[in-house]
Structure 1
Amino acid sequence: MTIVYPFTTNEPVNQQIYRLLRQEIVDCTIRPGTLLSEKEISTRFNVSRQPVREAFIKLSETGLVQILPQRGTFVMKISAKRVADGRFIREAVESAIIRRVALAITPEHLLQLKHNLHRQELAASNKRTKEFLELDDEFHRTFTQIIDCPMAWETIESIKATMDRVRFMSLADVSPPESLIEQHYKIYHALEKHDPDEAENAIHQHLIEMVSTLTTISSRNTDWFEPNE
Structure 2
Amino acid sequence: MIDNTKPNLTFNKIEPASLRHKAYITLQKAIIELDFKPGELLKKSELCKSLGISRTPLSEAIALLVQDGLVEVVPQAGTYVARFSIDELKEGAFIREALEVAAIKKLASSITDQNLIELRRNLRLQRAYIDDKDIQGFYGLDSKFHSIILNATGFRKLSRLADTAWMNVNRVRRLLLPVPGRIEATYVEHKEIFSALEQRDTIQSEKVLKEHLRKLMTFVAPLEKNHPEYFLMS
TM-score category, normalised to shorter length? 0.7 to 0.9
Counterpart of 1:5 in structure 2: which amino acid?
A: N
Pick the aligned partner of 1:56 from 20, 38, 62. Answer: 62
The corresponding residue for 1:114 is: 120
The corresponding residue for 1:146 is: 152
Q: Call closer, same or farther: CA 1:15–1:177 in 2, change over 3 Å.
A: farther
Distance 1:197 1:6 in 2: 49
Q: CA deviation at 1:33?
A: 2.5
Q: Call closer, same or farther: CA 1:127–1:2 in 2, change over 3 Å.
A: closer
Distance 2:150 2:57 in 1: 29
Q: CA deviation at 1:194?
A: 1.2
Q: Call closer, same or farther: CA 1:3–1:169 in 2, change over 3 Å.
A: closer
Report the 3-state secondary structure (helix = DSSP H, G, I; strand = E; otherwise coil) of the residue aligned with 1:78.
coil
Report the 3-state secondary structure (helix = DSSP H, G, I; strand = E; otherwise coil) of the residue aligned with 2:159.
helix
CA RMSD, 1 decimal: 2.5
Identical-residue share of aligned pairs (%): 27
Q: Call closer, same or farther: CA 1:14–1:115 in 2, change over 3 Å.
A: farther
The corresponding residue for 2:5 is: none
Q: Call closer, same or farther: CA 1:226–1:197 in 2, change over 3 Å.
A: same
Contact 1:186 1:202 in 2 (8 A): yes
Q: CA deviation at 1:15?
A: 4.1
Q: TM-score, normalised by structure 2?
A: 0.86
1:187 and 2:190 aligned: no
Q: Call closer, same or farther: CA 1:12–1:139 in 2, change over 3 Å.
A: farther
The corresponding residue for 1:5 is: 12
The corresponding residue for 2:71 is: 65
Report the 3-state secondary structure (helix = DSSP H, G, I; strand = E; otherwise coil) of the residue aligned with 1:74.
strand
Q: Give CA deviations for 1:16-37 in whole Å, capped at 9, x if unaligned.
A: 4334323332333212322223
Q: Call closer, same or farther: CA 1:157–1:2 in 2, change over 3 Å.
A: closer
Distance 2:200 2:130 in 1: 28
1:167 and 2:162 aligned: no
Counterpart of 1:133 in structure 2: which amino acid?
A: Y
Q: TM-score, normalised by structure 1?
A: 0.88
Counterpart of 1:24 in structure 2: which amino acid?
A: A
Q: CA deviation at 1:71?
A: 4.1
Counterpart of 2:88 in structure 1: which amino acid?
A: R
The corresponding residue for 1:75 is: 81
The corresponding residue for 1:36 is: 42
Pick the aligned partner of 1:207 from 199, 206, 213. Answer: 213
Distance 1:93 1:132 in 2: 23
Q: CA deviation at 1:7?
A: 6.3
Q: Call closer, same or farther: CA 1:38–1:112 in 2, change over 3 Å.
A: same
Q: Give CA deviations for 1:84-119 in whole Å, capped at 9, x if unaligned.
A: 111111101110011112133111110111111111
Distance 1:180 1:2 in 2: 30
Contact 2:84 2:231 in 1 (8 A): yes
